[in-house]
């Protein structure tokens, strides 16, 4: 841990912009004003508390969700400085009302935690109808209050005495800005758990006073606990391998463990911020890992022949790894739209050599583990080669499973050649499939009926997929490969749409298909190409004609406003609608409502898929509700 020796320089605060700009264009500062943006407010404040802890002060963060919709975040650091700023205002007033006031961390070593790097406090204030900052410092309790997006309600004043130190921020998100102001205990506690894994000295507590929920996280073993947590329900081949090293001013800490599953899970962090899109540190890790296993295998005559070697994907099958690096600010480079990808070139070679050297040493010292992992990697190599051969045969039409024949039986193709505009409907049941085929937009809509339940892919290998008729049809229809060969750019369709009955079986088929896509075509989900169709639950016939109702709530509301007689029909399945109805309600771009399947957090999705692919239906439904964005698809059609 590095101690920040820079003391707070009250004159270094940069006054740049007014809070009004934030309110006018909140998206520019917090990304969006949906649920994600709402929670961003919390992350900004929590990040400031984490910064203080990383700098060496304090070890405790508490988050309280109050019944009145306000939220409190508290730390036990030094407390925000309470002196006067050169402008004549108090320092807290400047920090919480002036954008970019957090400039103090510049060039003070590691740039820590995420988000807007201390800019956040004023942004949160700008987007809150009320904010109150209480500071324990210099033997006093001081407090300042704001309202209506950062207007001072009561300037900083002493409200009591205390020997404690720390900062407490309480705020109410502005209802004019956020349509939905309900914080999610689950979202907050999952994110805080991840922070707690990365900050082993810290305890983070979350209390939901409304729903009487609470969670408290503290992990002495840091990222080793993280790996154990992810692999909790899996069969691991050995205890987690853990190493730390410092090279070229870059701190590297890695924990990894193999399980008997086929899935790879790699999570990386830079200065405690998740790098969801990877980057040079991940590349370095993968290269070092592949090299260490290949060298060991060759040196011990496990791989024979000059050309024999294991692919990266072979040595990562069943691997869970956490890569946490700390990079000094002057070397930090982020890339990509969301800045979730590390660009720092030095991180690549540094992480590669650290991984290689530490693993090489470990494998030499732990022969049994080395052999167990290599055995698995070799099996993966064989399965991969066999699956590829089978696919090639199918592509060339040489094998007994001719691709065209397999598809022509079931797939109703789209005639259009603009693949990005084309849509593939995966439809539950032959009867609904038949309706969809007869009434569709033939230019852009293709239909593939699915019979019964598809294979649960939680534990399937690519060989199992090739052996499964239903999934093989999906693979060939999409035409972009599978697993490590999958390339979403090759997809025959811009949208893959799952269309099932609105019942438990339908939900089950949805989750089975999502699991398949998550395991074998994950980029499809990452690129936002996977959707779920939402057929209506009811139709109402009145004197004015027929209308469709999506939910029970909507039905109740509508019933109250209808005058005269009406007839309600409940659709138990897609098959109960005629072809025209099915098209109009569920497939027609003008009327349909599609849910996009999103991947908010790979670690959580992984864990949840694993747990939820068990026998219970209720948690599975909840998973779908939580992981699917309930947004009108046509809002983000590109
Ligand atoms: C409950 C959430 N906590 C905070 O928001 C928080 C900010 C903060 C802080 C300092 C200490 N604790 C904090 N908690 C601090 C103190 C000193 C120097 N730097 C930071 C010092 O005593 O010299 N921050 C002060 C300014 C900022 N944080 C920032 F918002 F501008 F980043």
**CATH at 39:** 3.30.565.10
**Domain-embedded: residue 313:** yes
Q: How far apart are CA 598 and CA 32, in angstroms?
A: 15
What's the predicted TM-score (pTM) here? 0.75
Our answer to whether residue 503 is catalytic in this structure is yes
Judged by average pLDDT, the poorest of 47-56, 257-266, 599-608 is 599-608
Q: How far apart are CA 555 and CA 548, in angstroms?
A: 9
- Which ligand 1 atom minimizes the distance to the CA of 117? 32
| Residue 328 clears pLDDT 60, i.e. is over it | yes
pLDDT in tens, 469-515: 888 889 888 988 888 778 899 899 999 999 998 877 888 888 889 98
Do 245 and 100 belong together in one domain?
Answer: no
For ligand 1, atom 17, the nearest C-alpha belongs to: 8
Q: How far apart are CA 623 and CA 635, in angstroms?
A: 24
Do 213 and 227 belong together in one domain?
Answer: no
Q: How far apart are CA 492 and CA 36, in angstroms?
A: 31
Task: Work out the average pLDDT over 235-249.
Answer: 95
Q: How far apart are CA 416 and CA 444, in angstroms?
A: 6
Q: Which member of 503, 541, 552, 556 is catalytic?
A: 503
pLDDT, mean over the chain: 85
pLDDT the model gives residue 106: 38
- Which ligand 1 atom minimizes the distance to the CA of 169? 1
Q: How far apart are CA 155 and CA 142, in angstroms?
A: 10
Ligand 1 centre to CA of 78 (Å) is: 8
Radius of gyration of the chain, Cα coordinates, nearest whole angstrom:
28
Q: Could you tell me the pLDDT band of residue 177, with boundaries at 50, 70 and 90?
A: very high
pLDDT the model gives residue 441: 93
C-alpha atoms less than 13 angstroms from C-alpha of 520 in its C-beta half-sphere = 30
Q: What is the CATH number of the domain that holds 284?
A: 3.30.230.10
Residue 487 per-residue DSSP state: -
pLDDT the model gives residue 529: 95
Report the first-to-last Cα separation within the chain, whole angstroms.
45
- Asked which of 190, 217, 244 is the last residue of a domain, the reply is 217
| Residue 338 clears pLDDT 80, i.e. is over it | no
Q: How far apart are CA 552 and CA 509, in angstroms?
A: 22
5 lines ligand 1 (CB under 6 A): no
Task: Work out the average pLDDT over 352-368.
Answer: 97
For ligand 1, atom 9, the nearest C-alpha belongs to: 80
For ligand 1, atom 8, the nearest C-alpha belongs to: 80
Do 260 and 119 belong together in one domain?
Answer: no
For ligand 1, atom 24, the nearest C-alpha belongs to: 80
pLDDT the model gives residue 367: 96
Residues 65 and 185: beta-carbon distance below 8 Å: yes
pLDDT in tens, 66-82: 999 999 999 999 999 99
Q: For strand 60-65 and strand 203-208, is the pairing parallel, antiparallel, or unpaired?
A: parallel
Q: How far apart are CA 574 and CA 541, in angstroms?
A: 18
Q: How far apart are CA 294 and CA 288, in angstroms?
A: 10
- Asked which of 178, 200, 217 is the last residue of a domain, the reply is 217
Q: Which member of 346, 505, 526, 547 is catalytic?
A: 505
Judged by average pLDDT, the poorest of 5-19, 258-272, 522-536 is 5-19
48 lines ligand 1 (CB under 6 A): yes
Residues 63 and 207: beta-carbon distance below 8 Å: yes
Ligand 1 centre to CA of 361 (Å) is: 42
Q: For strand 250-258 and strand 241-247, is the pairing parallel, antiparallel, or unpaired?
A: antiparallel
> What are the structure tokens assigned to 111, written together?
């740039």
- Residue 130's Cα: distance from chain center in Å? 30
Do 116 and 97 belong together in one domain?
Answer: yes
pLDDT the model gives residue 202: 95
45 lines ligand 1 (CB under 6 A): yes
Our answer to whether residue 505 is catalytic in this structure is yes
Residue tagged 């689950």 (tokens): 186
**Domain-embedded: residue 155:** yes
Q: How far apart are CA 128 and CA 173, in angstroms?
A: 4
Whole domain around residue 493: which residue ranges?
Answer: 411-535+571-632
Ligand 1 centre to CA of 118 (Å) is: 8
**Letter string b/e over residues 417-454, b meaning 16 or more CB atoms within 10 A of that residue's CB:** eeeebbbbbbbbbeebbbbbbebbbeebbbbbbbeeeb
């Amino acid at each position: 841990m590095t101690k920040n020796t820079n003391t707070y320089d009250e004159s270094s605060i940069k006054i740049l912009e007014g809070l009004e700009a934030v309110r006018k264009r909140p998206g520019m500062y917090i990304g969006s004003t949906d649920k994600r943006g709402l929670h961003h407010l919390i992350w900004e404040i929590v990040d400031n508390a984490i910064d203080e802890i990383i700098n060496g002060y304090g070890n405790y963060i508490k988050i309280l969700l109050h019944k009145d919709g306000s939220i409190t975040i508290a730390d036990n650091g030094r407390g925000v400085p309470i002196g006067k700023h050169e402008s004549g205002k108090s320092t807290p007033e400047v920090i919480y009302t002036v954008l970019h006031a957090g400039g103090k961390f510049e060039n003070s070593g590691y740039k820590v935690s995420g988000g807007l790097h201390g800019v956040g406090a004023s942004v949160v204030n700008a987007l809150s109808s009320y904010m109150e900052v209480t500071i324990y410092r210099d033997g006093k309790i001081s407090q300042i209050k704001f309202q209506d997006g950062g207007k001072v309600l009561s300037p900083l004043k002493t409200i009591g005495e205390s020997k404690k130190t720390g900062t407490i921020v309480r705020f109410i998100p502005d209802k004019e800005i956020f349509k939905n102001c309900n914080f999610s205990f689950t979202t907050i506690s999952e994110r805080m758990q991840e922070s707690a894994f990365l900050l082993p000295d810290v305890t983070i507590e979350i209390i939901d006073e409304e729903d009487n929920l609470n969670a408290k996280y503290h992990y002495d073993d840091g990222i080793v606990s993280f790996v154990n947590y992810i692999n909790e329900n899996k069969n691991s081949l050995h205890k987690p391998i853990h190493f730390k090293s410092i090279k070229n001013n870059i701190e590297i800490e890695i924990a990894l463990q193999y399980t008997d599953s086929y899935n790879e899970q790699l999570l990386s962090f830079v200065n405690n911020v998740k790098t969801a899109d990877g980057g040079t540190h991940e590349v370095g890790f993968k290269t070092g890992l592949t090299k260490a296993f290949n060298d060991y295998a060759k040196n011990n005559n496990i791989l024979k022949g000059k050309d024999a070697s294991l692919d990266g994907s072979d040595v990562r099958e069943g691997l869970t790894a956490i890569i946490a690096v700390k990079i000094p600010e002057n070397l930090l480079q982020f890339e990509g739209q969301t800045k979730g990808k590390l660009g720092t070139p030095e991180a690549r070679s540094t992480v590669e050599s650290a991984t290689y050297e530490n693993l090489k040493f470990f494998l030499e010292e732990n022969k049994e583990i080395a052999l167990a992992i290599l055995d698995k990697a070799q099996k993966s190599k064989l399965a991969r080669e066999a699956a590829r051969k089978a696919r090639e045969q199918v592509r060339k039409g040489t094998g007994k499973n001719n691709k065209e024949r397999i598809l022509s039986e079931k797939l109703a193709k789209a005639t259009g050649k603009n693949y990005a505009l084309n849509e593939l409907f995966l439809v539950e049941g032959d009867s609904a499939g038949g309706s969809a085929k007869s009434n569709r937009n033939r230019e852009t809509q293709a239909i593939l009926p699915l019979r019964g339940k598809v294979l649960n892919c939680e534990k399937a290998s690519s060989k199992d997929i090739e052996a499964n008729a239903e999934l093989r049809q999906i693979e060939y229809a999409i035409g972009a490969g599978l697993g490590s060969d999958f390339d979403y750019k090759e997809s025959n369709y811009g949208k893959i749409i799952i269309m099932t009955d609105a019942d438990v079986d339908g939900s089950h088929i949805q989750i089975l298909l999502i699991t398949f896509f998550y395991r074998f075509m994950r980029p499809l989900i990452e690129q936002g190409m996977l959707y779920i169709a939402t057929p209506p639950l009811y139709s109402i016939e009145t004197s004015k004609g027929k209308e469709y109702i999506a939910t029970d709530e909507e039905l109740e509301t509508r019933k109250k406003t209808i005058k005269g007689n009406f007839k309600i029909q409940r659709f138990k399945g897609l098959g109960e609608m005629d072809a025209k109805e099915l098209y109009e309600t569920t497939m027609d771009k003008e009327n349909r409502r599609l849910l996009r399947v999103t991947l908010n957090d790979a670690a959580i999705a992984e864990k949840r898929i694993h747990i939820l692919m068990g026998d219970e239906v209720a948690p599975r439904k909840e998973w779908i509700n939580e992981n699917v964005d309930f947004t009108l698809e046509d809002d983000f059609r590109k």
